[in-house]
Structure 1
Amino acid sequence: MNNPTKIRIIGSVGSGKTTLAKKLSAKWKIPYYELDNVVWRRESTGDIRRTEEERNQFLAGITNSNAWIIEGVHNEEWTNDTFEKADLIIFLDTPYYIRTYRIIKRFIKQKLRIEKSHYEPTWQIFFKMFKWNRYFEEVGKRNVLKILDSYNTHSVIYKGIRMKKLEYALY
């Protein structure tokens, strides 16, 4: 596979989006962006939600550049360009039980300060992640598959749990 220069990675919380984005970014020397950081401006005093206009301008600046990897669960209308302009779309359809395990593992690592986080790892967010994971399983996955119908010539659905297999296929 020729190295794509515009990659969109989508999946639920705990699916491996950030891990894959970081690895592909390092391998192909392409900057990666987390959609959560497009929605939120990270400040030392706490996160501040960008206005729709700020968010859309920030995302347009990314998608209008020559190369990017964008990862996130977001698939609302404001993210349409991330799909339309992508050379490759990767849907990480990781099994539900693996995502659940990863949510727990991540929370423990963040609480022990072994893993960095863009947000304060509170119990409230921890429990929200389980809700988001369940919602994605019941509703969000269907929405993603519907979106991918329009981009099936350059999209990949990965149902595995070992990222190495996917990485090897992409390299």
Structure 2
Amino acid sequence: MKKNIPNRIHIIGSVGSGKTTLAKTLSKNYQITYYEMDNVVWERHKSGDIRRTAEERDKYLEKIVSTDRWIIEGVHHYEWVDKSFKKADLIIFLDTPYKLRIFRIIKRYIRQILRVEVAHYTPSFKIFKDLLIWNKVFEKEIKPKVLNMLQQDNVNSITLKDSIDIDRILNKGRFLY
């Protein structure tokens, strides 16, 4: 059964799961503005990122989710993010394999060091290690919480596990939920 494209989409997944790529592609294909949750948390400046206060962050997120059409992507699964989950027409969980995410993190780090890929941050070995740790924490601690949230009766969600699932969304626009 094919349904209309949802107006408010929240994409969640670990580091390296493909959230940003999916958000950018859906944004382009369906003319829906996308937002990276990291940019809700951090105010970007050429001289360096500044963490928003909790009040600034919450106000910015509220401004986004109060609009009619949006795509939000991020790894964040904290109480302050709940408002975007609750207002989403569809939550897409990218549950790509753990080892694939590790490969993507390594590939991204190398591409950033070689300046082939642009980052919001200055790539360093410390950040690279942090990304690998965050990926492990997501798998062990956050993923079970996300799966539990998605099992609630009032949540419209789909879980995409591989490129075939993602291709179905990107190329065929089949939002089955």
| Both structures adopt the same fold (TM-score exceeding 0.5) | yes
User: Where in structure 1 are there 5+ consecutive unaligned residues?
Assistant: none
- Paired residues, number: 171
Corresponding residue for residue 159 of structure 1: 161
Tell me the distance in 1 between the aligned counterparts of 2:29 and 2:153. 25
Q: TM-score, normalised by structure 1?
A: 0.95
Change (3 A) 1:22 1:141: same
- Show CA shifts across 1:107-159 (max 9, x none): 11111111111111111100000100111111110011111122565200111
Using a 3 Å threshold, how does the CA distance of structure 1 residues 93 and 151 change in structure 2: closer, same or farther?
Answer: farther
Report the AA paired with residue 147 of structure 1: M
Deviation by residue 1:80-131 (Cα, 9 ceiling, x = unmatched): 1111111111000000010000000111111111111111111110000010
Alpha-carbon RMSD: 1.3
Once the two structures are TM-superposed, the CA of residue 169 in structure 1 deviates from its matched residue by 4.9
Q: Distance in 2 between matches of 1:164 and 1:113?
A: 28
Confirm or deny: 8 A CA contact 1:100 1:130 kept in the other structure. yes
Distance, in Å, in 2 between the alignment partners of 1:151 and 1:84 is 12
Q: 1 CA distance for matches of 2:153 and 2:99?
A: 28
The 8 Å contact of residues 25 and 32 in structure 1, kept in 2 or not, is answered as yes
Question: Among the aligned pairs, what percent are the same residue?
Answer: 52
Could you tell me which residue of structure 1 aligns to residue 140 of structure 2?
Answer: 138
Match of 1:109 among 108, 111, 114: 111
